[in-house]
Structures are given as C-alpha cells and as structure tokens.
Amino acid sequence: MEDSLKYYAKQMVFAQDASGRFYADSVFIKNFVKALKTPYSFYYPFDSLKTISKLYAPDSSFRIFTWQIEMDESYFRQFGALQLHSNDGSLKLIPLFDQSDYSSIPTDSVRSFNNWIGAIYFQVVMKEFNHKKYYTLIGFDDNDFVSTKKWIEVLTFDSNMQPVFGGPFFDYKADATKPPQPAARFCLEYKKDAKARIVYDPELDMIIFDHLISESNEDNKKYTLIPDGDYEGFKWVNGKWVHVDKIFETQKLKDGQAPVPAPFLDKDGKPINPQ
C-alpha cells in the first residue's frame, strides 16, 4: 500500500498543474486512511513518503501528519491528521481542516480540528505544568508569493481526547514584527525566501528564532521583514513560553573586530551546541 501512496504523495507536490496536484491529494487521502486502518498501523513509519511530515509526540501518545498543496504561487492549503495511540491497535484518527482562508486574525483564537490554522510541522516539544502535558508544534506555511509564515502552536487535549490548538501560552512585549497580544499562537511572518528560522534547541531548552527588521522601516508590512543576525527565543516557565530578547550576548571585542552571532544551526539546519 505504501508503494501506491508514495506515487500520489509525490504527485501532490510535483504534478505540473494544480488539478493534478489536488487529484493526487484526493486519491492519497482515501488510500492513506485505508492503510491506517491496518491494525497497529500507529507503529508503521511510512518512511518513503518524503513529501509528508510525520511526527511522533515524545511520549508516543499520538503522531501528526501534515502536508500542503500549491494551487499557484499565491495560494497554499495545508492538510493534516492526528493519529492517537490505541492499546488494541484500532485506528483513532482525527482529520485537520485548514480554515486559515477564513481568518482575518489567525493568531487570536483557540481552535479545534475543524478550524485548524494550517501548517507543516517539523518539530514537536513536550512540556508539563501542573501535571498536564503540553505539546508545542513548530511548523511553516508557504503562505503566498510575497511572504512565508512559521508557527509555534501549543496543542493540548480535552477530557474527550479532542485536540485543542492554541491558548494563552505566550508572554512577550508588544512588537510590530510579532502578533498582537493576547496571542493564542505565535507567528513569524517574513519576506519570501528570506530564510528566517524557528527551532527548538534541546541543549538550551529554548525555542530560538531570528530577530526580524524591515528593509524599508515598515515593520507592519510583513513582506519587508528579514533576519538581521540577532536571535530571540522563548523559555518554558510556569506553563508559558516566556520571551527572551537576546539569546547570544555579543562579547566585548577589540577595535576592528566585528561582532558575529554564535551559530545555533549547522550547515544541515540541525541544532548545535553553542560555544
């Protein structure tokens, strides 16, 4: 079944026209659900599905699949599903429906699987507070032809094991480059192809991201924002991600020496130990 899924997963991204990509997505979803109905599929890795993000929670209580389809360079739609662990190997699958097209302020509300904001997740971080588990999802959205978005989203589960996306988990001062407070999720929106980064660093136990500035001194225009070489972050404190203004303090240098920020990613984009 994976051989067939691999073909359609690839076509969702590489088919020449949008109709072909959406057709491949439709066939993929139908066959993917069929495959997941195989008993104990929770443990099957689907390694060959390279265009699908597959993340397990650190405690293996669930895994989340996410992917996106490009209509054209100005329109991207994300798809996803949560597969919950089950002791008897039966399928417990919760589809995620991207409703970002209908959200004028996508950071201002707690959401369910029915009105998910949409992202391709590449990291999941588990934290605990007051005996409750919080799963922080870090992902991206190609958004449109002028800007890209990267998201930090806290996922919890209610008493019925239904997913709850977002909440009052971010503590930071007002800043035109960041979502207005109160923010139910954090978004870093920036100029297309500017390569701003968000990553959880397990050594620092922090989420680190690029500090952004506007090329044209117009911070409210997200498509003008680019990294300036400094790094900000979030530290988990008492059930919230608390903002840290500067991650790497510049050392006092001799005359003629230019300050260089310490790298936190290697050439392959993986976190490295700061020196």
Can you read off the two tokens belonging to residue 53?
A: 């993000």
Specify the pTM.
Answer: 0.88
The pLDDT, as a whole number, for residue 261 is: 46
Euclidean distance between CA atoms 3 and 219, whole angstroms: 47
pLDDT of residue 71: 87
Burial-class residue 52 by CB neighbours within 10 Å (0-12, 13-18, 19+): buried
Torsion sign over Cα 37, 40, 46, 52:
positive
Dihedral of alpha carbons 202, 204, 210, 211, sign: positive
Angle between helix 2-14 and helix 18-36 axes, rounded to 10 deg: 150
Q: Which two tokens stand for residue 223?
A: 């498509």
Instruction: Indicate the SS3 state at residue 173.
Output: coil
Cα–Cα separations (whole angstroms), residue 213 to 49, 225, 245, 250:
37, 5, 14, 18
C-alpha separations of 159 from 85, 128, 156, 164, 182 in Å:
16, 17, 10, 11, 25
pLDDT of residue 72: 85
What is the predicted pLDDT for the residue at 173? 93
Write the CB contacts of 108 (distance below 8 Å, at least 6 apart in sequence). Answer: 180, 182, 183, 184
Enumerate the H helices of the chain as residue ranges: 2-14, 18-36
Query: Can you tell me the distance from the alpha carbon of 36 to that of 49, in angstroms, rounded to the nearest whole number?
Result: 14
CA distance 138 to 207: 9
For residues 66 and 83, the answer to whether their CB atoms sit within 8 Å is no
Residue-level pLDDT, tens digit, the chain, 275 residues: 999 999 999 999 999 999 999 999 999 999 999 999 999 999 999 999 999 999 999 999 999 999 999 988 788 999 999 999 999 999 999 999 999 988 888 999 999 999 999 999 999 999 999 999 999 999 999 999 999 999 999 999 999 999 999 999 999 998 999 999 999 999 999 999 899 999 999 999 999 999 999 999 999 999 999 999 999 999 999 999 999 998 876 434 444 444 444 454 555 555 555 43
Amino acid at 270: K
* CA 162 – CA 194 distance, rounded (Å): 36
